[in-house]
Amino acid sequence: MRNLGLALVLLFTVATSGGSRATEPTRFVPLKPDELSSSQKEWADAIAVPPRNAKFTNPPYRAYIRNPELAPKLSAMSDYLRWNSSLPARLSEFAILITARQWTAQYEWFAHYPLAMKAGLDPEVAKDVANGVRPKAMKDDETALYDLAMALYRDKKVSDDIYRAAKQKFGERFMDIIGLIGYYDLVSMTLITMQAEAPNDSMPPLPPLAAK
């Protein structure tokens, strides 16, 4: 009977903890509103409004807010790259997913996968990115973006052919792609430092990349 009771307790614990992956943060523990300085509060209020609608207690903002001089510059860069660049949302979110995959940044993938789907990215393209393989169903502009991003990540150089393809598709403002990838490299590094994981199991995590 005692063993049965212990088993029931264990079953209850597992059942009530299901659907949750994140644990209580131990790094950059969320600040309370009354702990914020005036400059921190000003920035927290600024990111709380549309289109960001962010909470300063969530990743990566709860790390950014520790430096209220840097935080507004980061969010201003993010504002431009996500919503005001020359790229449509489909391509912006595609670039973010590529970056999340390179770093295996689970929180970033969790946050941006639904946005990529809403923006019209083919789920099969996202699936291939998650599995670390070249997507087979890319549109022409997605191919140019993917090849540029992977040349930078994998080869650490950009060939003449990849440069010409990117310039032909996006013009010389394809610097927006480099800026987007670079900013989300910073986001990924912040999330990894924070040990920020996806907050629940509503979507599969990124699998480990095969060693090469």
Q: What pLDDT, in 10s, does the model give residues 168-209?
A: 999 989 999 999 999 999 999 999 999 999 999 998 899 998
* Angle (nearest 5°) at CA 205 between 55 and 56: 10
Q: What pLDDT, in 10s, does the model give residues 48-78?
A: 999 999 999 999 999 999 999 999 999 999 9
Q: Please name which of 194, 18, 4, 206 lies closest in space to residue 112, comparing C-alpha atoms.
A: 206
User: Is the pLDDT reported for residue 13 higher than 80?
Assistant: no
Supply the pLDDT for residue 144: 98
Supply the pLDDT for residue 178: 97
- The overall average pLDDT reported for the chain is 90
Supply the pLDDT for residue 58: 95
Q: How far is CA 184 from the centre of its chain?
A: 7
Q: Taking a C-beta distance cutoff of 8 angstroms, is the pair 32, 53 a contact?
A: no
Q: Which two tokens stand for residue 95?
A: 């670039």
As a whole number of angstroms, the distance between CA 183 and CA 62 comes to 17
Q: Supply the pTM of this predicted model.
A: 0.87
As a whole number of angstroms, the distance between CA 183 and CA 207 comes to 23
Residues sharing a CB contact under 8 Å with residue 124, sequence separation 6 or more, in sequence order? 135, 136, 137
